[in-house]
């Protein structure tokens, strides 16, 4: 079942989403500030610097919208779980930037570029540990279990991605295994925790997990496209970083899946020289001519439509409408 694309653009919708849950996001941000203030040594300044950047907080917003969708939810616990998710996401961003040697994140210098790799690693470790500590005593025992599983899955996804760097014969199955771990697993956890906070039954909690997973898969596919500049306006991070870091993402997998031997050798030569002037543009042209970007976007849209089917099972409400709009506009985001 499809859903018509709203007339608003993605950035406007994101602001609408944040406005709809602003009070709960503010409470979550208070938790984040308290975590920063209680950190040892000079760590409060570093963590405050990172959490003060105007990130989109999409995962926390998604979690809160699901929690609110039933009409009743525990506000204090929701703030703690949302803050836990944000800290876990922050930890992965800091560590990812180190692994990828990225220089920019949200138009700011990355943590390891500002303070050095040793401190950045510890900042990420601290954020991860505090993420788990925040929800360890939650009365709904499935919540800390879910966040713990997500933290393991995120690390597993990164390990698989590193192991598969430069693997030009990577299968679609192998690719989806990576992006489930590194991205979709956290969205899946947001769906599960939001549904548990909303008080939904076990069957509907499972549906919300599927919802989160499908949104996460679509999000990462679109992120891979944005890295090529497809649909990108202002990423706030380096473009073509996947190419330069040897990451084989969906457009390349689709290319090699349908390429002739001559086309394959041409692409391999360009990839070997991907840091040279002009090579990324030539790679982009080959992928464009082969229809790889459109095919990847089509796969993202399939995941989005699966999400919409699940959202149509939700109780009709303003929160459901906002979540439907989020899904409908996901494929049209530019940042």
Give the whole-angstrom CA distance, residue 288 versus residue 307: 27
pTM of the model: 0.93
Distance CA 223, CA 249 (A): 10
Q: How many CA atoms lie within 13 A of 317 on its CB side?
A: 16
Q: Please check whether residue 214 is in contact with residue 307, taking contact to mean a CB–CB distance below 8 angstroms.
A: yes
**Neighbour-count burial of 166, counting CB atoms closer than 10 A to its CB (0-12 exposed, 13-18 middle, 19+ buried):** exposed
The predicted pLDDT at position 238 comes to 57
Residue with tokens 């709960």: 24
State pLDDT tens for residues 244-282.
778 899 999 999 999 999 999 999 999 999 888 889 999
**Per-residue pLDDT tens over the stretch 36-54:** 999 999 999 999 999 987 6
296/302 Cα distance (integer angstroms) = 10
What pLDDT sits at residue 234? 47
CATH code linked to domain 10-330: 1.10.600.10
> Could you tell me how far CA 228 lies from the centroid of its own chain?
17
Domain ranges of the chain: 10-330
Asked if residue 222 has pLDDT above 50, the reply is yes
166 phi and psi angles, rounded to 5 deg: 75, 5
pLDDT in tens, 278-303: 899 999 999 999 999 999 999 999 99
Tokens of 39: 């950190």
- Could you read off the pLDDT of 166-217 as tens digits, one per residue? 899 999 999 999 999 999 999 999 999 999 999 999 999 999 999 999 999 9
Cα angle for residues 92, 95, 98 (degrees, 5° grid): 145
In this structure, what are the phi and psi dihedrals at residue 239, rounded to the nearest 5 degrees?
-90, 155
- Name the CA dihedral angle for 76, 77, 78, 81, rounded to a multiple of 10 degrees: 130
Four-residue CA torsion sign, 333, 146, 21, 54: negative
Q: How far does CA 147 lie from the centroid of its chain?
A: 15
Q: Residue 273 to residues 178, 244, 250: CA-CA distances in angstroms? A: 25, 9, 20
- Mean pLDDT of the region 88-93: 96
């Amino acid at each position: 079942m499809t859903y018509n694309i709203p007339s608003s653009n993605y950035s406007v919708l994101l602001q609408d989403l944040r406005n709809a849950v602003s009070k709960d996001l503010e409470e979550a941000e208070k938790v984040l500030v308290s975590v920063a203030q209680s950190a040892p040594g000079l760590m409060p300044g570093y963590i405050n610097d990172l959490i003060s950047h105007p990130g989109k907080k999409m995962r926390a917003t998604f979690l809160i919208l699901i929690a609110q969708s039933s009409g009743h939810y525990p506000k204090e616990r929701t703030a703690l779980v949302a803050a836990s998710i944000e800290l876990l996401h922050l930890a992965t961003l800091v560590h990812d930037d180190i692994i990828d040697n990225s220089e920019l994140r949200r138009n700011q210098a990355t943590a390891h570029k500002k303070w050095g790799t040793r401190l950045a690693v510890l900042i990420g470790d601290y954020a991860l540990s505090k993420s788990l500590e925040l929800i360890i005593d939650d009365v709904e025992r499935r919540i800390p279990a879910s966040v713990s599983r997500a933290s393991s899955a995120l690390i597993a996804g990164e390990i698989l991605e590193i192991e598969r760097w430069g693997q030009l014969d990577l299968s679609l199955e192998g690719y989806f295994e990576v992006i489930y771990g590194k991205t979709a697993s956290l969205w899946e956890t947001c769906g599960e925790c939001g549904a548990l906070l909303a008080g939904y039954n076990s069957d509907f909690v499972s549906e919300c997990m599927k919802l989160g997973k499908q949104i996460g898969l679509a999000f990462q596919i679109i992120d891979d496209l944005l890295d090529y500049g497809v649909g990108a306006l202002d990423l706030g991070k380096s473009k073509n970083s996947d190419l330069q870091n040897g990451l084989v993402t969906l457009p390349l997998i689709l290319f090699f899946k349908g390429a002739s031997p001559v086309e394959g050798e041409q692409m391999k030569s360009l990839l070997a020289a991907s840091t040279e002037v002009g090579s990324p543009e030539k790679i982009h042209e080959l992928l464009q001519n082969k229809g790889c970007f459109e095919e990847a976007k089509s796969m993202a849209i399939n995941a989005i439509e699966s999400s919409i089917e699940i959202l149509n099972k939700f109780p009709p409400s303003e929160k459901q409408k906002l979540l439907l709009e989020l899904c409908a506009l996901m494929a049209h985001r530019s940042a």
